[in-house]
Amino acid sequence: MGAQQPVSDGTSAAVRTRSGACEIDVVLTDAAVSGVRDLVSACLRLWGLTELDWRVTLTASELLTNAFQHARKEDESSVPVKVVLTRTPDGLFLCVSDPDPWLPAAVSAGENDEGGRGLMLIKTLSDRYGCSSTAHGKDVWVTILHSA
């Protein structure tokens, strides 16, 4: 089933759900990150995965922010991304696809730096993390498992 869903900045996202999977296609802006995060949270509630909500939504927010900051061209205010959530027997798989071919690399953030901690946070919050090049950019993915 697919539908257009409003996102906080007036943008809309194409959302497709089926049993155990949700795909969100959006032209991401800085202001739209929180709206997409809310759609991710709604999928988790629909599947009864509320115990994963804070980890998944924070991880999704970091992945989306990284895509917005690094995948958009310097003179543009948006970037097309796809978010895929897949329910698994032991938790959740989350993937964010963007058009930038460069794979993320950790940087050392200084004590007073405002950025540079996103990838560290993603690795800390997830049980598995990875990225791969695609024909149209890259996929950055995480697996978040139920608590033991």
Least confident of 10-19, 44-53, 64-73, 121-130: 10-19
Average pLDDT over residues 43-61: 95
Tokens 């901690």, located at residue: 117
Model confidence band, residue 64 (pLDDT cutoffs 50, 70, 90): very high
Q: What is the pLDDT of residue 131?
A: 95
Euclidean distance between CA atoms 142 and 123, whole angstroms = 8
Structure tokens at 13: 């996202």
Average pLDDT over residues 50-77: 91
CA angle at residue 34 from 118 to 28, to 5 degrees?
80
The answer on pLDDT for 12 being more than 90 is no
Token reading at 61: 């927010």
Strands of 1-148 (E only): list them.
2-6, 12-18, 21-28, 79-88, 91-98, 128-134, 137-145
φ, ψ (nearest 5 deg) of residue 90? -110, 10
CB 29 within 8 A of CB 13: no
Q: Walk me through the domains of the chain, giving residue ranges and CATH numbers.
A: 2-145 (3.30.565.10)
Q: What is the pLDDT of residue 14?
A: 83
pLDDT of 15 over the 60 cut: yes
Closest residue by Cα to residue 93 from 52, 133, 50: 52
| More confident: 12 or 21 | 21
The whole-angstrom separation of Cα 93 and Cα 145 is: 9
Give pLDDT tens digits for 83-117.
Answer: 999 999 999 999 999 999 998 766 665 565 555 56
Which of the pair, 24 or 118, is modelled with greater confidence?
A: 24
Q: What is the structure's pLDDT at 6?
A: 60
Q: Which residue has the higher pLDDT, 141 or 70?
A: 141
